[in-house]
Amino acid sequence: MEGVGALPPTERKRESVRRMFDRIAPRYDRMNRLLTGGLDQRWRRRALDAIAIGPGDTVLDLACGTGDLAELACARGARVIAVDFAREMLRGALRRHIPAVFLQADGAALPLADGSASALLCGFALRNFVSLPDAFAEMARVLAPAGRFAFLEVDRPRSAPLRALHSLYFDRAVPRLGAWLSDRAAYAYLPQSTAYLPPEPELCAELAKAGFERLRKTPLLLGAAQIVTGLRT
């Protein structure tokens, strides 16, 4: 990283973020459970429910990390292709013996055929793409017509009092806990990286431009997180 908590410049973001995830991979799952009080797994199940993942689906788990979403999708009978650009994250997933196909690749240049997936999942990773329009275009390419997607992401409450309370935890406590238990720079990056998420109208406009429709946002935990769903036209 470019210093503790600093957001990397655009031209170095991809490599900087990849190195960061390689560093935190050994403690990634444990930190997710700790920082969300275990709610992250409930949210993942809700994301799968939101687009009815089940037998007969070919699911692309994009930026799969250590495989939480891939594991849940496989348990529902789906065929899963899981992609991440961080080697150590993929090694963590492989150690779990999840019955999915794991690939190391850039989310903006996927080694998959056009229309090869019926559904796409992406958990807490939109902030890490260098270009969201490019990523959305690639997602649209690999999804079949009428293919579904579900993004699980952090968010910030709209209510001023809730937003202030959320900021105390997310902007102050999370970096301190991360510095103590895992990686100082990575968990300072986490709250700052919300700056990479466009406002809801802009996000929906970019998705529509890429070829998605029926867009819906579902707030989680009073607005601290969100699920965004839609269909490929």
The pLDDT tens digits of the residues spanning 120-176 come to 999 999 999 999 999 999 999 999 999 999 999 999 999 999 999 999 999 999 999
Going from N- to C-terminal start, the domains of the chain cover 10-232
Please say if the pLDDT value at position 1 is more than 80.
Answer: no
Tens of pLDDT, residues 85-134: 999 999 999 999 999 999 999 999 999 999 999 999 999 999 999 999 99
Residues with Cβ < 8 Å from 165, sequence gap 6 or more? none
Name the β-bridge partners of 80: 59
The Cα 49–Cα 116 span in angstroms is: 21
The Cα 199–Cα 197 span in angstroms is: 7
Which CATH number is associated with domain 10-232?
Answer: 3.40.50.150
Tens of pLDDT, residues 66-76: 999 999 999 99
**How far is CA 64 from its chain centroid?**
8
Residues with Cβ < 8 Å from 103, sequence gap 6 or more? 81, 82, 83, 111
The sign of the dihedral angle between the CA atoms of 224, 10, 14, 16 is negative
Contact 60, 81 (CB under 8 A): yes
pLDDT band per the 50, 70, 90 thresholds, residue 213: very high
End-to-end CA distance of the chain: 38
Q: Are strands 143-154 and 225-232 parallel, antiparallel or unpaired?
A: antiparallel
